[in-house]
Amino acid sequence: MTRLLGAGLIVLGSGAAGFWSSLERQGHTEALGEFCTYIRLVRRELQLTQADRGELLAAAARALPAWSGFEGAPTRAQVERMLPPEAAEVCRRFYEGLGKSLLEGQLQHCDRCAEEVAALYEEGRRLQADRRRLTLSLSTLWGLLVAILFY
């Protein structure tokens, strides 16, 4: 009876690990969507106020409820930690390109970065459902295999 209970716990534990892994991936996808919104808000603030870089970033962060915990403008490193690895290059280019050209150039820069992040977000959403099913199935099957080997 104890062995059967242990085998069941192994299967449940591996299924839970797969579930948490899929939730982490979902968090990365949601962070991409928030970053895309952030870039668009920065663009809007730039177009309307033409404020300096720090004020633009801080105002855009204040407008996003998920980013309200930042004191002032979030740094590039803080934003990169929230994003999946494939978005780090876009984040770097976004932060480095702000304030490097005239207004029209900066607006175009924001548009290009927002388009790239939106494409990554859509790809992440598309893959998320497939990967969630695959992750849950494989982790549960792995737990079942381990339980059978130890039983």
- Domain parsing of the chain, residue ranges: 2-150
pLDDT, residue 61, reads 85
- Produce one character per residue of 65-79: b if its CB has 16 or more CB atoms within 10 Å, e if not: eebeeeeebbeeeeb
Return d(Cα 142, Cα 91) in angstroms, integer: 36
pLDDT in tens, 100-127: 888 899 999 999 999 999 999 999 888 8
Residue 18: Cβ within 10 Å count: 21
Taking CA 133 as the corner, what is the angle to CA 131 and CA 126, rounded to the nearest 5 degrees? 45
Q: Let me know: does 130 contact 29? Beta carbons within 8 Å.
A: no
The pLDDT of residue 60 is 85
Q: Phi, psi (5° rounding) for residue 74?
A: -70, 140
d(CA 74, CA 76): 7
Structure tokens at 46: 């730039």
Q: Residue 143 carries which side chain, given as an amino acid letter?
A: G
And the tokens for 65? 């409820």
What pLDDT is stored for residue 81 in this prediction? 85
Alpha carbons 52 and 68: distance in angstroms, whole number: 20
Calculate ∠ Cα 75-68-22, nearest 5°. 85
The list of the chain residues with pLDDT below 70 reads none
Q: Tokens 């928030």 appear where? A: 34
pTM of the full structure: 0.77
